């Protein structure tokens, strides 16, 4: 029936009904449009989110709601200009491929020193009590761990494959080449990272004896180790930051079905010891130059900058070198690959910020 026919009351009723329906449709479309555009508007207009985007990059085209909430919370306190980010959140969401760091080599050292400021906003890492307790428990259990004599790491040389990491080999090679044209036969000590602090003296005395017994013809050896000269308390946030590369409490290898079929699980990065966090340089030098097989120090160098650069290069190789990337993913899975890059960059940041120090010592056996 056409609207032009029929009684006037019917036509008025039909027009009234049509106007109501069209109004409802227009309202719904308007509301949907506003709702769908709100995240984009927030992204453009939020000063805190603009600052956050200088630090993090979402791997999708839209910011996850978590970070919209972080930005919104930061803006609830005008004048403070502080963006709070949970420490575990960053590690977890980088591992899951949700976010990436925009400028890790520049931002992370300032972040761990509480000095990161972007677009006028200060960034602060929050640490839950649960994660603090995890770190403290790890440190205490490491102090009480058992370390049999046969577990003491083996010596090797530059000419051997040995158990030395590519990062450490790069740094040691750089420093040894400053003093020796040919250094393939120089004996390389294993790092203290794998030795519990209670067994530091046992490790050094045992290695001194091995050098005299098995390597008498090798007069020179090189020892690289990490210490904490900053002197922070275990209750400081700095201790938690420094402990992460050694404890890896946020690691979750084999956390997905695709990562559960690793072909070489034995190569998963092992948990290192807490020794570097409680060790000072004078203590190690005193042990090296004392005892029945005391050694003479030929050279002592602060290799923190070189070690940080080597760690950054390692992380970049995992990201951009196709062969290195494929090998790492095959060994530890896609999430393990992301973690390895993050932990390497985090440790580099700790060295750059001065929370940790890396030393390279050239030693000579005494006759």
Residue with the larger pLDDT of the pair 83 and 253: 83
Give the span between the Cα atoms of 73 and 46, in whole angstroms. Answer: 11
Res 36 pLDDT > 80: no
What pTM was estimated for this model as a whole?
0.82
The whole-number pLDDT of residue 35 equals: 40
Question: 160: pLDDT confidence band, cut at 50, 70 and 90?
Answer: confident
The whole-number pLDDT of residue 216 equals: 55
The whole-number pLDDT of residue 69 equals: 94
Give the span between the Cα atoms of 273 and 143, in whole angstroms. Answer: 9
Res 174 pLDDT > 80: yes
Res 30 pLDDT > 70: no
* Sequence-ordered list of residues with C-beta below 8 angstroms from that of 256, at least 6 positions apart, any chain: 333, 334, 335
Q: What is the mean pLDDT of residues 16-27?
A: 52
- At 287-338, the pLDDT tens digits run 999 999 999 999 999 999 999 999 999 999 999 999 999 999 998 899 999 9
Q: What is the mean pLDDT of residues 129-139?
A: 93
- At 219-232, the pLDDT tens digits run 789 999 999 988 88
Query: Domains of the chain (ranges plus CATH)?
Result: 45-126 (no CATH), 141-365 (3.40.50)
Tell me the C-alpha to C-alpha distance, in Å, between residue 142 and each of 93, 134, 236, 247, 305. 28, 12, 19, 10, 28
Placement of tokens 């090189």 in the chain = 222
Q: What is the mean pLDDT of residues 177-200?
A: 84
Res 163 pLDDT > 80: no
- At 235-278, the pLDDT tens digits run 999 999 999 999 988 886 533 333 444 443 333 345 688 999 99
- The percentage of the chain sitting over the pLDDT mark of 70, rounded to a whole number, equals 77
Query: HEC profile for the chain?
Result: CCCCCCCHHHHHHHHHHHHHHHHHHHHHHHHHHHHHHHHHHHHHHCHHHHHHCCCEEECCCCCCHHHHHHHHHHCCCCCCCEEEEEHHHHHHHHHCCCEEECCHHHHHHHHHCCCCEECCEEEEEECCHHHHHHHHHHHHHHHCCCCCHHHCCCCEECCCCCCCCHHHHHHHHHHHHHHCCCCCCCEECCCHHHCCHHHHHHHHHHHHHHHHHHCCCCCEEEEEEEECCCCCCCCCHHHHHHHHHHHCCCCCCCCCHHHHHCCCHHHCCCCCCCHHHHCCHHHHHHHHCCCCCCEEEEEEEECHHHHHHHHHHHHHHHHHCHHHHHHHHHHHHHHHHHHHHHHHHHHHHHHHHCCCEEEEEEEEECC
């Amino acid at each position: 029936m056409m609207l032009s026919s029929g009684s006037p009351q019917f036509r008025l009723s039909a027009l009234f009904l049509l106007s109501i329906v069209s109004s409802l449709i227009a309202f719904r479309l308007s509301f949907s449009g506003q709702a769908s555009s709100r995240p984009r508007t927030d992204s453009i207009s939020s000063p805190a989110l603009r600052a956050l985007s200088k630090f993090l990059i979402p791997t999708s085209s839209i910011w996850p709601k978590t970070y919209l909430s972080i930005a919104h919370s930061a803006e609830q306190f005008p004048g403070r200009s502080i963006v709070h980010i949970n420490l575990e959140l960053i590690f977890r969401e980088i591992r899951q491929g949700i976010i990436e760091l925009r400028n890790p080599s520049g931002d992370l050292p300032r972040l761990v020193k509480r000095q990161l400021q972007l677009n006028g906003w200060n960034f602060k890492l929050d640490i839950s009590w649960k994660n603090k307790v995890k770190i403290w428990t790890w440190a205490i259990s490491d102090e009480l761990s058992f370390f049999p004599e046969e577990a003491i790491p083996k010596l090797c040389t530059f000419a051997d494959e040995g158990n030395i990491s590519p990062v450490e080999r790069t740094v040691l090679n750089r420093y040894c080449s400053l003093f020796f044209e040919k250094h393939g036969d120089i004996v390389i000590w294993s790092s203290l990272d794998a030795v519990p602090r209670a067994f530091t003296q046992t490790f050094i005395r045992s290695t001194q004896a091995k050098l005299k017994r098995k390597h008498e013809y090798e007069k020179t050896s090189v020892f690289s180790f990490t210490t904490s000269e900053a002197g922070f308390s275990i209750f400081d946030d700095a201790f938690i930051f420094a402990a992460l590369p050694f404890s890896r409490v946020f690691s979750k290898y084999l956390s997905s079905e695709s990562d559960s079929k690793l072909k070489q699980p034995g190569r998963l990065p092992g948990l290192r010891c807490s020794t570097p966090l409680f060790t000072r340089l004078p203590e190690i030098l005193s042990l090296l130059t004392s005892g029945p097989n005391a050694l003479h120090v030929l050279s002592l160098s602060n290799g923190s900058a070189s070690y940080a650069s080597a760690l950054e290069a390692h992380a970049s190789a995992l990201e951009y070198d196709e062969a290195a990337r494929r090998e790492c993913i095959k060994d530890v899975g896609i999430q393990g690959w992301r973690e390895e890059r993050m932990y390497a960059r985090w440790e580099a940041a700790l060295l750059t910020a001065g929370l940790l120090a890396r030393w390279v010592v050239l030693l000579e056996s005494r006759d």
